[in-house]
Amino acid sequence: MTPESVSPQEAKKLIEQGFLLIDIRDRAEYLREHIPYARSLPLTDITAGKTVAGAERQPVIFHCLAGMRTVQNANALLKAASPAPVLLMAGGINAWKSAGLPTIEDRKQPLPIMRQVQIVAGTLILTGVVLGYAADSRLFLLSGVVGAGLLFAGLSGLCGMASFLLKMPWNNLRNRN
């Protein structure tokens, strides 16, 4: 059974009536930007068996970035909020912002790790192409290696670049205030 979807405007009205809003994105995504009323409960915690505190007293609305994670994991979300009624916010925080509703943003927090991967991979590929044309055709291999790494990450779910970037000082959660 898939929970009913609500628009961001409907979700805002329901939150004002006492519904809980649960953000299932990774903690780093939440820290970077979130809806003022939202509580963070990452999907990884939910799939590990964590439940929504307070769900026994209030209905729950779940949201993610664009709505895909909530729809794909609807059964786990229903279980995490049981016995409370569950709704999914259509379009996630992206739709919330498109509707002109407020968010809390902390630009001191690092970008989400997959955006960092996209920036680094794109930079390396572009560098390989430019240097391949300008300096030495063997430098096209840089673009090929990065592309192969992205292909491997997509097929296996393991991203070496993301693992590497998570170890960088700006992503070290223990060093942040």
Residues labelled as active-site residues: 64
Nearest to 41 by CA among 11, 5, 79, 4: 79
* CA–CA dist 3, 75 (Å, integer): 9
What's the angle, vertex CA 173, arms to CA 168 and CA 176, rounded to 5? 100
- Other Cβ atoms less than 10 A from the Cβ of 16: the count is 9
